[in-house]
Amino acid sequence: MVPDVGLVPIRLVKGNLSKVPPHVQQFIAKYVQICRPKGVFICDGSDEEAKEMTEKLVERGTLVKLESMDNCYLCRTDPADVARVESKTFTITREKFSTVPHVAPGVDGQLGRWMSPEDAEKELGSRLPGCMKGRVMYVIPFSMGPVGGPLSKPGIQLTDSNYVVLSMRIMTRVSGELFKVIGEQGEFVQCVHSIGAPRPVERKVINHWPCNPERIIISQFPDERKIVSYGSGYGGNSLLGKKCFALRIASCMARDEGWLAEHMLIMSATSPEGKEHFIAAAFPSACGKTNMAMLTPTLPGWKIKCVGDDIAWMRFDKDGRLRAINPEAGFFGVAPGTNTKTNPMAMATCSKNTIFTNVGMTSEGGVYWEGLEREVDPDVEVSGWLGDRKKIGDFKKSGIKAAHPNSRFCTPASQCPIIHPRWEDPEGFPIDAIIFGGRRPEGVPLVFESFDWNHGVLLGAALKSETTAAAEHKGKEIMHDPMAMRPFMGYNFGDYLRHWIDLNKPGRKMPKIFHVNWFRLDSNGSFLWPGYGDNIRVIDWICKRVDGQDNVAIESPIGYLPTEGSINMDGLNDSYRTPQNWQKLFSLPKDYWVEDVRETRQFLDSQVGIDLPTPIIKQMDLLQERIAQM
Ligand code: PEP
Ligand code: NA
Ligand code: MN
C-alpha cells in the first residue's frame, strides 16, 4: 500500500514548505501520493488563516454564524456521524498481546481492539488511495502541551476537513513554530485524517457534512507513533490530538518513558486558609469532568481553578512529586445539561470564539440545548440539530431533542474565567490527590479513600459507570470502564496496571487515591447528593485527608470513609443534613458489596487474565476477605 517515495513535488495552495523539516516533507509527500488531494495547505495557526477559512465555511453552509454571540458558529453534522465509534477503533501492533490482555477462551475482550499490521494494511489500503481527490489536504503542526515544553509532544495532522482545522486550532496549540521544534527534536506523532469522501462524492452529502460512516476506521499504530483515521469528521474520531494521540498513543509513550497519560481533569482547590491543593480526577465520558474541573464552590472561602477538563499527562519530577500538565488548549464539552446553575464557568467560556456542533439555534442566533430552559426565552423558535423549527415547549412535548445528546462546544481554555493563571506552566502542577469516580446509582458511597497506593490502583481498575451518549452504546447499563480508559487504552491493560503499581518507588510522594460517586439514588430514584458546586464539600474532606487529618476518617471494608459529620453540610437543605441521609449516602450494603466484588473479580479475571499483576490479585483477595467479614 505504501510506496517508497522521496521528495515528490507537492502542489501547494498555501503555506511555506521551506520551513518544513525534510522528514516532515517526506511524511506529507507520502500521503499526497496515496490520498491524491488537489493541493496542500500548510497551516500556520494564525488568526487570519482561521478567519479566511471560517468565512469560506459560512459561505458554503458548513458553519452558521450565531448572530447574537461573539465569533461563535454552529455546525450540524450528518446525523450518522455524531459520536466516537469504539467498534471501529483499533490498535495495530505486530504482537497481539502488547495491545490486548489474554482473555479467557470464548470471552469477548472489552479492553482494547487489536488489528494485525497485515489486516490494517488491507483495510487502509482499500480506503486511503485517492481518498482526498478533489479536496485540499491541510497540514496542521500542533503541540500537545505548551510548545517546546519538557512534558509536551508535537504532532502533525493531515486532514481534508476544514472543520477539523478550525477545531484543532482551539483544542491544541497550532503554530508554524512547531516545524522548528520538530526540526530540532526530530520526533513527532504522524496523524492522518480523511473524511473518506473524495470528489465526486458517491454518498449523498447531508448538512454540508461529507463523511463515510459505513467505512469508518480509527487506527492507532503505537510503535510507529502514527494515527490513521478515516470516514468520520466527528471530534473524538477526527481531532487526532485528543483521544487518539493524547491518550492512546501517549499512554504507550508514557509506558516506555515512565510517566502517565490519563483520562483526567486537573484542578486546584484553595482552602479558606489559603492552602492550594492540586487534584486529578478520572471519570468515564459524560460523568461531569468538565463540571467538576470548573465547579463554583458553595462553601464560603474556597476557590477552584481549572487546569484541564479531560486529559492529564503526569511525570514524577526530581523531587519525587507527580507533576501534571493539561496537554490540550481547549474544551470539547458535552453541551446538554450545561447551564448557569450546573456550570456557569463553562457557559462564560463558550460565549465567544466557540464552535458548537449539533446543538439547537434560536431564531435570534443564539444556542439552545436541553438544560438551557431557564436561560433561553421560551417564546423564541429553535431550529433543532436535525433542522426542525419549533418552540422549546414543543420540542419537549414532541419528545424530540433540540440538541443531540452528544452535542458539543469547542472553546478555548484560556477563556475560562477560572482558568489557573499558570495553567500553561510547562513544568506542570504537583498532584496531591487522584480521584476515580463513575455514575453508580446503588451501593457506592459519596466518597472513600484507598488504604494505600496498590489499593487505589485497584479502585481505578474496578471503575464502573452507567453508560452515556459520548459513544455509540445504547440504553443504560453499568459498564466497566477501568481507569476511565476503556475506550482509550493504548496497550495491554495488565501491563498498564503493572506500570501504575511500579510508579510507587521509594523517595516519591505518592498522591492519595479516592473514589467518589455523585450519583447514588434513594429508593425513589432521586439523587442523594446535590452535586455540582456542592461537591466542594467532598473536595474539602479530601484536602483534609491530604493534609494528614486522621480524625475525619474511619476504616471500613472498602477503604477509609468520612467519620459522621466530617463533611461540611452547612447551608445545605435540611433533608441532606439528617443522620438518615448520611446513612443512605455512606451505607455499605453487605449483599451489594459481596456481589460487586465478585463481579469485579470475574471481570478482571476474564478480561485481563494472566496479565493481571499479582499485587492487584492480592488487593482483590484482601477486599473480598474484608467484605466477607462485614
Ligand atoms: C469525543 O467523543 O469526541 C470526546 C471528546 O469524548 P469524551 O466525551 O469521551 O471526552
Ligand atoms: Na453542516
Ligand atoms: Mn473524555
Q: How far is the CA of 502 from the centre of ligand 2 (A)?
A: 47
Polymer length of the chain: 630
The answer on pLDDT for 1 being more than 80 is no
* Residues sharing a CB contact under 8 Å with residue 139, sequence separation 6 or more, in sequence order: 15, 20, 28, 40, 41, 42, 43, 156, 157, 158
Beta strands in 123-209 (DSSP E): 136-144, 153-159, 173-174, 189-194
Q: 95 C-alpha vs ligand 3 centroid, how far in Å?
A: 28
Tens-digit pLDDT profile for residues 76-105: 999 999 999 999 999 999 999 999 999 988
Residues around ion ligand 3, judged by CB within 5 A, are 285, 310
User: With 60 as the cut, is the pLDDT of residue 2 above it?
Assistant: no
591 has pLDDT over 70: yes
Query: Nearest 5°: CA angle at 27, between 21 and 30?
Result: 135
- 11 exposed, middle or buried (CB, 10 Å; 0-12, 13-18, 19+)? exposed
Query: Residue 288 — left, alpha, or beta (φ > 0 → left; ψ -120 to 50 → alpha)?
Result: left
Q: Cα dist. 193→9, 139, 243, 355, 423 in Å?
A: 21, 10, 14, 20, 29
> Cα of 408 to ligand 1 centre, how many Å?
9
The residue whose CB lies within 8 Å of the most ligand 1 atoms, and thus the one to mutate among 84, 193, 262, 289, is: 84
* pLDDT > 50? residue 3: no
At residue 417's C-alpha, the angle toward residues 303 and 176, to 5°, is: 125
Measured by CA distance, the residue closest to atom 5 of ligand 1 is: 236
Closest atom of ligand 1 relative to the 263 alpha carbon:
10
Nearest-ligand number for the alpha carbon of 286: 1
Q: Using pLDDT thresholds of 50, 70 and 90, give the confidence band for residue 10.
A: confident
pLDDT in tens, 219-247: 999 999 999 999 999 999 999 999 999 99
pLDDT over threshold 80, residue 505: yes
Give me the interface pTM, i.e. the ipTM.
0.92
pLDDT score for 9: 73
Asked if 248 and 491 count as a contact pair (C-beta separation under 8 A), the reply is no
Q: Which residues are catalytic?
A: 287
Q: Is the pLDDT of residue 4 over 70?
A: no
* Beta-carbon neighbours within 5 Å of ion ligand 2: 62, 76, 207-209
Q: What distance in Å separates the CA atoms of residue 407 and residue 403, rounded to the nearest whole number?
A: 6
> For the segment 303-336, what is each residue's pLDDT rounded down to a tens digit?
999 999 999 999 999 999 999 999 999 999 999 9
Per-residue pLDDT tens over the stretch 40-90: 999 999 999 999 999 999 999 999 999 999 999 999 999 999 999 999 999
Model pLDDT for residues 349-404, shown as the tens digit of each residue = 999 999 999 999 999 999 999 999 999 999 999 999 999 999 999 999 999 999 99
Separation between Cα atoms, residue 453 and residue 435, nearest integer Å: 12
Question: What's the mean per-residue pLDDT of the chain?
Answer: 96
Nearest protein Cα to ligand 1, atom 4: 236
Question: How many distinct helices (H) and strands (E) make up the chain?
Answer: 17, 33
Compute the average pLDDT of residues 592-612.
97
The verdict on the CB of residue 332 being under 6 Å from ligand 1 is: yes
Report the pLDDT averaged over residues 148-171: 98
Query: 470 C-alpha to center of ligand 1: Å?
Result: 6
Whether residue 218 contacts residue 244, with contact meaning beta carbons closer than 8 Å, is answered with yes
Question: Is-contact 242 328, C-beta < 8 A?
Answer: yes
Q: What is the pLDDT of residues 198-217, one digit of tens each?
A: 999 999 999 999 999 999 99
Domains and CATH numbers, the chain: 12-62+86-257 (3.40.449.10), 261-330+421-628 (3.90.228.20), 332-414 (2.170.8.10)
**pLDDT of 472:** 59
> Could you give the maximum distance between any two Cα atoms of the chain, in Å?
75
